Chain A
Amino acid sequence: MSARLRVNPITCSGYGMCAELLPELVALDRWGYPILAPGPIPPHLAGAARRAVRLCPTLALLIEETRRRQT
């Protein structure tokens, strides 16, 4: 099991909270929408990622469990 960040671009309205809370994995584009780092969430950032997901004002940020094992 590995976890990946994903954003629902329909619900996202670009508050930018995720980039504040998790700058290691989230950057903002020129219009203020998140650009997520590709690949699985590194273990040491798992807590911060969960916090960013919880605090997203539009609940647009998700952690997706992928069943495919990363090798």
Chain B
Amino acid sequence: MSRRLAPAGPGRSAELAVLAGPPPRRGLPRLLAGMSYDRPLGLAEHERVHGPVPLRGGGRGHPHRLIGLVERSGLTGRGGAGYPAGAKMRLVARRRGPAVVVANGAEGEPASSKDRLLLTRLPHLVLDGISLAAEAVGARQAYLCVHRRETGLLASLRAAADDRYRAGIDPAPTEVVGIPGRYVSSEQTAIAAFLNGREGKPAFTPPRLHERGVGGRPTLENNVETLAHLALIARHGDSWFRGMGLPSATGTALVTVGGAVCRPGVYEIGLGAPAGAVIMMAGGPAEPPQALLTGGFFGRWLPAEYAWPVPLSGPTMRAAGGAMGAGILICLPASACGLAETARVVRYLAEENAGQCGPCVFGLPALADALADLAYAGGRGRAVAQISSLLPVIEGRGACRHPDGVTQLVRSALQTFGADAHWHDRNGPCYGVRRDPLLAVPGDAEREWDWK
């Protein structure tokens, strides 16, 4: 997985730094402006780059003003589901009584590093977004959730939240909470369950979070990148935000580029940049490419030459049979076996099921077995049919989307590596199986097994 960071933009000039609100950047980088390579930006530095946070409606009217701005900006959730951010805020703001804001920075997806980058380098951008969202929906309580094993990150975020409280920006400090490091624990109903004192496992809906979430109150749950965008929209307005991206997918997004590329890392792109161009931002393919995994572990494989010109955004990727997910692109080299890579990921995802729903508990391990058979042992002419018959029995039958994410990945693997799959099925494993694994799946030591 990528550890390298995106290149920071040219630093702001000294003259601009003395102004209270520097003029907005039209181009890139937006979120990553002023980012330091090795440390979090402090509150004063953050305000020099972006100006003070326009809380209390920016002094220009009702806090609901921000909801209208976000709706007009076209901002969609950056955690994977891509739900319109303004509509979500409106749903929560409409409910009676004080609400709760939950910022999701747990980044359960092993192929993604963007949330970690934001939280370790630009915590105040996320915390601005949390304060603004809380004010707009009428929340008195706000939580920022990260994996509890990240003790250093927890400490630095708590310090940042305290700085803001002491500076009088936030009426109450955002509560930084460590949640279990399980894959499905960062699903939104699982976070709410954990904050409510239960195990961090997904829950059956209804009730939806905006109806009854944390503490039984209407709850706004957003990915931390979504909230960081919110912090800039509140400052510069909706038309500024739409100045980049596509009409159907506005603004910029953070993308984690990994696999066989020369400079894996997190990059900020204008939505709609072709997938190939984003791979080139990351230094280009390190080896001749075969396929791209779009959208991460819950995403879809696409043949490289087909995916290359596809604009990277939720709607355009979906139309092309790919996925945007939380903004992930992984380049699979021609020398690797896509089936073996998929089999390892599916095994990991099967082990990460919450043990709640039958079709997921029994279906995912069966699917992982069949895929491992096909990839490593040759399918004896039966594996492809066996996999295809399992998919419809698993799909859409869990309380959360975990099983659906897995079946979508497997379906796309059978399509993209279709010829390879039939070759494996008849003749046994290909040479690519001998290669070192490309997709980084967390090892047992890095994983957490406890839900509470």
Task: Tell me if A30 and B357 are in contact (CB < 8 A).
Answer: no
Chain B residues with CB below 8 A from A13, complex form:
358
Task: Tell me if B203 and A9 are in contact (CB < 8 A).
Answer: no
Task: Tell me if B357 and A29 are in contact (CB < 8 A).
Answer: no
**Chain A interface bracket (under 10, 10 to 19, 20 to 34, 35 or more):** 10 to 19
Closest residue on chain B to residue A38 by CB atoms: B396
Task: Tell me if B397 and A10 are in contact (CB < 8 A).
Answer: no
CA distance A30 to B356 in the complex (A): 17
Chain B residues with CB below 8 A from A29, complex form:
358-359, 393
Task: Tell me if A9 and B398 are in contact (CB < 8 A).
Answer: yes
CA distance A35 to B358 in the complex (A): 11
Mark contacts of B371-395 with chain A using CB atoms, 8 A cut-off: 1 yes-contact digit, 0 otherwise. 0000000000000000000000100
Chain B residues with CB below 8 A from A66, complex form:
none
Task: Tell me if B362 and A31 are in contact (CB < 8 A).
Answer: yes
Chain A residues with CB below 8 A from B203, complex form:
10
Which of chain B's residues 343-364 have a Cβ closer than 8 Å to chain A?
A: 356-360, 362-363
Task: Tell me if B399 and A10 are in contact (CB < 8 A).
Answer: yes
Is B306 among interface residues, defined by CB-CB distance under 8 A? no
CA distance A29 to B362 in the complex (A): 11
Is A42 among interface residues, defined by CB-CB distance under 8 A? no
- Known contacts A9-B398, A9-B399, A10-B399; is-contact A31 B358 (Cβ 8 Å): yes
Chain B residues with CB below 8 A from A12, complex form:
357-358
Is B165 among interface residues, defined by CB-CB distance under 8 A? no
Task: Give the residue of A9, A30, A31 whose beta carbon is less than 8 angstroms from that of B204.
Answer: A9
* B38 nearest CB across to chain A (Å): 44
Chain B residues with CB below 8 A from A14, complex form:
358
**Chain B interface bracket (under 10, 10 to 19, 20 to 34, 35 or more):** 10 to 19
CA distance A63 to B433 in the complex (A): 48
* A3 nearest CB across to chain B (Å): 15
* B391 nearest CB across to chain A (Å): 12
Which of chain A's residues 5-35 have a Cβ closer than 8 Å to chain B?
A: 8-14, 29-33, 35
* A61 nearest CB across to chain B (Å): 13
Task: Tell me if A8 and B399 are in contact (CB < 8 A).
Answer: yes
Chain B residues with CB below 8 A from A8, complex form:
204, 399
- Known contacts A30-B393, A33-B397; is-contact A10 B357 (Cβ 8 Å): yes
CA distance A31 to B360 in the complex (A): 11
Closest residue on chain B to residue A29 by CB atoms: B393
Chain B residues with CB below 8 A from A32, complex form:
358
Chain A residues with CB below 8 A from B399, complex form:
8-10
CA distance A4 to B358 in the complex (A): 21
CA distance A14 to B360 in the complex (A): 13
CA distance A30 to B363 in the complex (A): 9
Task: Tell me if A31 and B356 are in contact (CB < 8 A).
Answer: no
CA distance A9 to B204 in the complex (A): 8
* A48 nearest CB across to chain B (Å): 22
CA distance A9 to B222 in the complex (A): 26
CA distance A13 to B357 in the complex (A): 8
Residue among B204, B358, B360, B397 having the largest count of chain A Cβ atoms under 10 Å: B358
* B162 nearest CB across to chain A (Å): 38
Chain A residues with CB below 8 A from B358, complex form:
9, 12-14, 29, 31-33
Closest residue on chain A to residue B361 by CB atoms: A31
CA distance A71 to B362 in the complex (A): 37
Chain A residues with CB below 8 A from B397, complex form:
9, 33, 35
Chain A residues with CB below 8 A from B362, complex form:
31, 33
* B414 nearest CB across to chain A (Å): 20
Chain A residues with CB below 8 A from B360, complex form:
9
* B112 nearest CB across to chain A (Å): 27
CA distance A32 to B358 in the complex (A): 9
Chain A residues with CB below 8 A from B356, complex form:
9-10
Closest residue on chain B to residue A6 by CB atoms: B204
CA distance A14 to B361 in the complex (A): 12
CA distance A8 to B397 in the complex (A): 9
Residue among A8, A9, A14 having the largest count of chain B Cβ atoms under 10 Å: A9
Task: Tell me if B357 and A31 are in contact (CB < 8 A).
Answer: no
Chain A residues with CB below 8 A from B204, complex form:
8-11
Closest residue on chain B to residue A13 by CB atoms: B358
* A21 nearest CB across to chain B (Å): 19
Which of chain B's residues 382-422 have a Cβ closer than 8 Å to chain A?
A: 393, 397-399
9 contacts between A and B (CB under 8 A): A9-B358, A9-B360, A10-B356, A10-B357, A14-B358, A29-B359, A31-B362, A33-B358, A33-B362
Known A-B contacts: A29-B359, A29-B393, A33-B358. Give 13 more (CB < 8 A): A8-B204, A8-B399, A9-B358, A9-B360, A10-B356, A10-B357, A11-B204, A12-B357, A13-B358, A30-B393, A31-B362, A33-B359, A35-B393
Report which B residues bind A (CB closer than 8 A): 203-204, 356-360, 362-363, 393, 397-399
| Among all A-B residue pairs, the 7 with the closest Cβ atoms | A9-B357, A33-B358, A31-B362, A10-B356, A8-B204, A10-B399, A29-B393
